Amino acid sequence: MTTIEPEHDAAHALEQVLHHDIPLTREMGMRVIDWHNQTLRLHLPLAPNVNHKSTLFGGSLYCGAVLAGWGWLHLRLREAGITDGHIVIQDGQISYPLPVRSDAIARCDAPELAQWEKFIATYQRRGRARLTLHTCISEQDSEEQAVRFVGQFVLHR
C-alpha cells in the first residue's frame, strides 16, 4: 500500500480549490507543485499565458504571484486549524525585473514567526487580520527572480 504524504494531500486539495473556486487558474494551466516546509510552489506554463513578445503575460504573472500568497495563507491556516475565515488580497506591489521566456515557478515562503503569531492572535481576538506575504516567480530552470511581489492579505470572518 502506498502512503501519501499529508503535504501532498494539502497540495492536491489546494489545486482543486483553486480550479473550482477561481476558474481562471484552470484556463491558465496553473498547477500546485508542492507544499513543503511552509513553502508553496505553483507551476505556470508559458503556452496558455504567452503574450505578443513570446514571454509570459504580465497579467498572468501577477495572478500567479497573488495566488501563491493566497494559496500559502489558505494552507497555513488549515494547518493551524482555522477554517472559518475568508482570504482576500487588499494591496499588492509587483516588479518585473526580467522577462519570463519559459514555464515558471511561483513561490511563497513563510513570513517571520513573530509576524505570523501576531496575525493569528489578531484574527482570534478581532475576527479580522492582515498579513504581508512576499512571493517571487522564476523561470522553471532558474533561481533568478523574474518577478517580485509583496501583497497584503486580509483574513476576515
For 76, the domain range is 6-156
In a domain, residue 144? The reply is yes
Does the pTM exceed 0.75?
Answer: yes
Q: Residue 87's closest CA among 153, 138, 141?
A: 153
On whether residue 1 sits in a domain, the answer given is no
Evaluate the CA torsion angle 106, 56, 138, 101 in order and state its sign: positive
Q: Is residue 29 part of a domain?
A: yes
Among the residues of the chain, which ranges form H helices?
6-21, 24-27, 58-79, 113-126
- The answer on pLDDT for 5 being more than 60 is no
Domain CATH for 141: 3.10.129.10
Sheet holding 31-36, edge to edge: 31-36, 39-44, 104-108, 128-139, 145-156, 86-95
Paired residues of 150 in beta bridges: 93, 134
pLDDT (0 to 100) of residue 7:
72
Is residue 78, in this structure, part of any structural domain at all?
yes
Residue 1 pLDDT > 90:
no
What's the whole-number mean pLDDT along residues 46-52?
Answer: 98
Number of domains in the chain: 1
Inter-residue contact 116 to 140 (CB < 8 Å): no
Average pLDDT over residues 70-78: 98
Whether 4 shows a pLDDT value over 80: the answer reads: no
* Residue linked to cell 504567452: 50
Tens-digit pLDDT profile for residues 76-128 = 999 999 999 999 999 999 999 999 999 999 999 999 999 999 999 999 999 99
On average, the pLDDT of the chain sits at 96
Is the confidence at residue 8, as pLDDT, over 90? no
Dump pLDDT digits (tens) for 21-35: 999 999 999 999 999
**What pLDDT sits at residue 3?**
38
What's at 50, amino acid-wise? V
The residues with which 139 forms a beta bridge, in sequence order, are 104
48 neighbors 28 (Cβ within 8 angstroms): yes
